[in-house]
């Protein structure tokens, strides 16, 4: 297990214009916390299934972990964890530094 060096991103729902406002502020050098916003609650619910929320909670509390450690912590089968981690990576919430680990992007 690796200690998490950065806090987990704030995950929420916000209109697209808010994203553009934050982007403009970033270009002006104004720091903001790491965040990931969905443009609708429907999209958030589609991506953040209960099993994926469990994975995010485990990584928030424990930092970067192997897929086997995530499976043990969540009680999911490794195949399910692998599929959920891949979906969260595609959504931009997680990254996989290698095939057997997951961490926040």
Q: What is the pLDDT along the chain (105 residues), one digit of tens a residue?
A: 444 456 778 888 988 888 788 889 889 998 877 888 898 999 999 999 999 999 999 999 999 999 999 999 999 999 999 999 999 999 989 988 788 899 987
CA 64 from centroid of its chain's CA atoms: 11
What per-residue confidence (pLDDT) applies to 4?
Answer: 46
Look at residue 55 in the predicted model and tell me its pLDDT.
Answer: 96
12: which DSSP letter?
Answer: E
Kindly report the pTM of this predicted structure.
0.80
């Amino acid at each position: 297990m690796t200690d998490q060096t950065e806090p987990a991103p704030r995950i929420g729902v916000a209109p697209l214009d808010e994203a553009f406002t934050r982007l403009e502020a970033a270009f002006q050098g104004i720091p903001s916390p790491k965040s990931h916003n969905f443009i609708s609650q429907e999209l958030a619910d589609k991506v953040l299934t209960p099993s994926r929320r469990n994975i995010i909670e485990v990584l928030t509390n424990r930092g970067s972990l192997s897929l086997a450690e995530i499976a043990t912590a969540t009680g999911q089968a490794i195949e399910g964890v692998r599929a959920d981690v891949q979906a969260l990576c595609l959504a931009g919430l997680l990254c996989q530094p290698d095939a057997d680990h997951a961490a926040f992007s």
